[in-house]
Structure 1
Amino acid sequence: MRKLLAFNLILCLLAGCQSEQASVPEKSPDQEQLNYPIPVAATVGMVADLVKNVGREYVDVTQIMGSGVDPHMHKASRDDVQTIMNSDMVFYSGLMLEGKMADTLIKVARTKPVFAVTELIDPKSLLEPDDFNGHYDPHVWMDVATWSLCVDAVKDALSQYDPRHAEVYQKNADEYKQQLKTLHEYGLKTIKSIPENSRILITSHDAFNYFGRAYGLEVLGVQGISTESEAGLKRINELVDLLVAKNVKAVFVESSVSKKNITALIDGAKAQGHEIVIGGELFSDAMGEAGSYEGSYMGMLDHNFTIVARALGGTAPEKGMQGKLTP
């Protein structure tokens, strides 16, 4: 039997919620007293982007963790707590991504609705790596088709809290899911263009397992699922041997994770006479700079698909699916 995440279980017990990962108020607030836009706090950029696309003009979303912030390691600061307390609703990813914020979210869930956007994903669709102590891999957003299920979780939460605009939220959700479908199809097409023997993606940590499963890549990370895990010399040597044996030409760094382990791989391969380059910087646990195209979920995945395909010998437009990628 799959283990329930202790954090989500405790959160629900304390909040008295009806689902495993969300705190749902018994009834929506007095609609006559509801002020717009609704102040909403979201933990990471991928979650904030979901709420913005579904809520649009009816929500004012404050993102707690910005570009380049590692959510595995982030502890709630005084300002973070104030942001959460000033919000009427709180959205987080779940699946232990924000584990160090557990205490804060548990306390807040006693007084206001707190929602995990991953609550509607069938556990059968989730990965449970052997080295993650029975917990699910939280990096679901790397599979666009699976992450699109989170759109409905946000839509349902907003509609319950603000039923007056339920039809609007439904319409917005449908439109956004269509955009995500187009993005998913772009990913399938671009990654498929990589020569089959070159479809090996090596990154700083295991954030790309869903990416590999969905788009047909063998994915290997130097570190484990969480960036708290340390990469040992044995692991680095094993990957160096693989890089040389399979004649891998490029490895990738991540925007929110130290580059030191990837540098160690490159140096190790060079010592064996094999030259490897950094194929580019990928977005894993955080999106790009706020206000940029890469600072949106669409831009984040467009960037990843495009960079990976081009670096590993595939074909993709230099500026991505929509021609918006930063040069």
Structure 2
Amino acid sequence: MKKLIVLAILTLLISCNDKATDDGRIKVVTTTTMLTDAVSEIGGDNISLEGLMGAGVDPHLYKASEGDVSKLYNADIIFYSGLHLEGKLVDIFEKMEGSKNTVSLGDRLPKEQLIASENFASNFDPHVWFNIQFFKQFAQIITEELSKADPKNAESYSENNTIYQKKLDNLESEVKAIIATLPKEKRILVTAHDAFNYFGKAYDFKVVGLQGISTATEAGVKDVQNLSDFIIQNNIKAIFVESSVPRRTIEALRASVLSKNHNVEIGGSLYSDALGNTGTVEGTYIGMFKYNVNTIVNALK
């Protein structure tokens, strides 16, 4: 019922012609915190930016409020991750096609480079931001779309993108150097859900999630038992919770391991589907990535 109400409001808004006046800057709306940070880096003061989701918010389960619908309607351009990450917002974005400039960034990536999944609606793992090279492509697409929507500031967007691309290259180099200190046989990452497969592919980690790619799927007793056996067999030192996923699933997994007379620690909380709090280092994509890598490597050594 709530979805129908939201879609009805959206239809009404789209049918109206009046838009609020502004200060001349284009209005940009983003979904996830990662996209909000990237768009902020490139758009700077030239845009009026609003992100729908905050720190610790799970995009798989996020539902639009009436206020969100209003923000989306009033936007000049909307950036979302796509690949069905924001699964409960898909109906709204489809409704807006043709009347709004909506940009699904994940769907612009080369499909042959994505990780396929038979158990997810889009058939591709949507957590593409854990491959820095993909995020560099996101930044380029954002630059191009902002430049088309706001040609007078295109040069500024291009300059900001050049700076940001260099920052991301530096991040890649730093991440590789940190990971190189962890022996390959210890690169087994056990987390709450399958958000880190692109990370694993890029940096030679075996990644095992207790839940599937979407947190909408629940882990069962058998999943916990099987993964606890895997942890013991591979003598894994630490497992990880995620900031946007309830701790109870990983705590249940640790309890299962302990019940079998094997010790495993919770190595820390990783940022998976959302950044940290605004104003903190982890509240930026680059800071989040460094934090995650340091947390993983220090716990598994």
Secondary structure of the residue aligned to 2:176 is: helix
Q: Secondary structure at the match of 2:292?
A: helix
Q: Are positions 1:84 and 2:72 aligned together? A: yes
Q: Which moved more, 1:42-51 or 1:111-120?
A: 111-120
Gaps of 5+ in 1: 1-32, 314-327
Deviation string, structure 1 residues 260-295 (Cα, Å, up to 9, x no partner) = 111111111111111111101000001101121111
Q: How far apart are 1:112 and its partner, in Å?
A: 2.0
Q: Which residue of 1 aligns with 2:18?
A: none
Counterpart pick for 1:264 among 241, 244, 252: 252
Alignment of 1:293-308 (within 5 A): 293-308=281-296
1:163 equivalent in structure 2: 151
Does the Cα contact within 8 Å between 1:191 and 1:216 map onto a contact in 2? no
TM-score (norm 2): 0.90
**Aligned AA (2:64):** A
Q: Is the 8 A contact 2:84 2:121 kept in 1?
A: no
Aligned-partner Cα distance in 2 for 1:91–1:133: 20
Q: Is the counterpart of residue 215 in structure 1 residue 203 in structure 2?
A: yes
Q: Is the 8 A contact 2:82 2:104 kept in 1?
A: yes
Which residues in structure 2 correspond to 1:49-60 (within 5 Å)?
49-60=37-48
The structure 2 residue matched to 1:139, chosen from 122, 127, 133, is 127
Q: Which residue of structure 2 aligns with residue 122 of structure 1? A: 110
Alpha-carbon distance in 1 for matches of 2:184, 2:223? 25
Q: Which amino acid aligns with 1:94?
A: G
Q: Deviations over 1:228-285 (max 9, x none)?
A: 1111222211110111111111000000001111111111111111111110100000
Report what 1:191 is aligned to: 179
SS at 2:24's partner residue? coil
Q: Which amino acid aligns with 1:126?
A: L
Which of 196, 200, 220 aligns to 2:188? It is 200
1:193: Cα distance to partner? 1.2
Instruction: Note if contact 2:78-2:103 (Cα within 8 Å) is conserved in structure 1.
Output: yes
Counterpart code for 1:63: G
Q: RMSD of aligned C-alpha atoms?
A: 1.5
Measured in 1, the distance between the counterparts of 2:130 and 2:187 equals 16
* Other-structure match for 1:231: 219
CA distance in 2 between partners of 1:276 and 1:155 (Å) = 44
Q: Is the 8 A contact 1:119 1:150 kept in 2?
A: no
Which amino acid is 1:109 matched to? E
8 Å CA contact 1:39, 1:88 repeated in 2:
yes
2:190 corresponds to which letter in structure 1?
Answer: I
In structure 2, the partner of 1:23 is none
Give yes or no for contact 2:282–2:288 (8 Å, CA) kept in 1.
yes
Spell out the pairing of 1:94-109 with structure 2 (5 A cutoff). 94-109=82-97
Identity %: 39
Find the counterpart in structure 2 of residue 286 from structure 1: 274
Tell me the alpha carbon deviations over residues 128-160 of structure 1, each in whole angstroms, 9 at most, x when there is no partner. Answer: 123325611000001112221111110111111
- SS of aligned partner of 2:82: coil
Q: Which amino acid aligns with 2:245?
A: V
Pick from 234, 248, 258: which aligns with 2:236?
248
Distance in 1 between the 2:38 and 2:23 partners? 21
47, 53, 78: which one aligns with 1:65: 53
Give the C-alpha shift of residue 168 in structure 1.
1.7
Give 2:81's aligned residue: 93
| In 1: Cα distance, 2:115 partner to 2:25 partner | 36
- Segments of 5+ residues of structure 2 without an aligned counterpart are 1-20
Residue deviations 1:5-34, cap 9 Å, x none?
xxxxxxxxxxxxxxxxxxxxxxxxxxxx99
Tell me how far apart the structure 2 counterparts of residues 36 and 56 of structure 1 sit (CA, whole Å).
14
Amino acid at match of 1:225: I
SS at 2:198 equivalent: helix
Aligned equivalents of 1:157 and 1:127: distance in 2? 25
2:36 to 26, 48, 59: 48
Q: How far is the alpha carbon of 1:84 from its aligned partner?
A: 1.4
CA contact (8 A) 1:192 1:215 kept: no
CA distance in structure 2 between the aligned counterparts of 1:186 and 1:55, rounded to whole angstroms: 25
1:13 matched to which residue of 2?
A: none
The count of aligned residue pairs is: 281
Q: Distance in 1 between matches of 2:141 and 2:199?
A: 21
Task: Report if aligned partners of 1:95, 1:136 keep a CA contact under 8 Å in 2.
Answer: yes
Between 109-118 and 293-302, the greater mean CA deviation after superposition: 109-118
Deviation at 1:182, TM superposition (A): 0.9
Contact 1:255/1:284 (8 A) holds in 2: yes
8 A contact 1:249–1:312 mirrored in 2: yes
CA distance in 2, matches of 1:134, 1:52: 28
Moved over 3 A (4+): 33-36
Q: CA deviation at 1:202?
A: 0.3
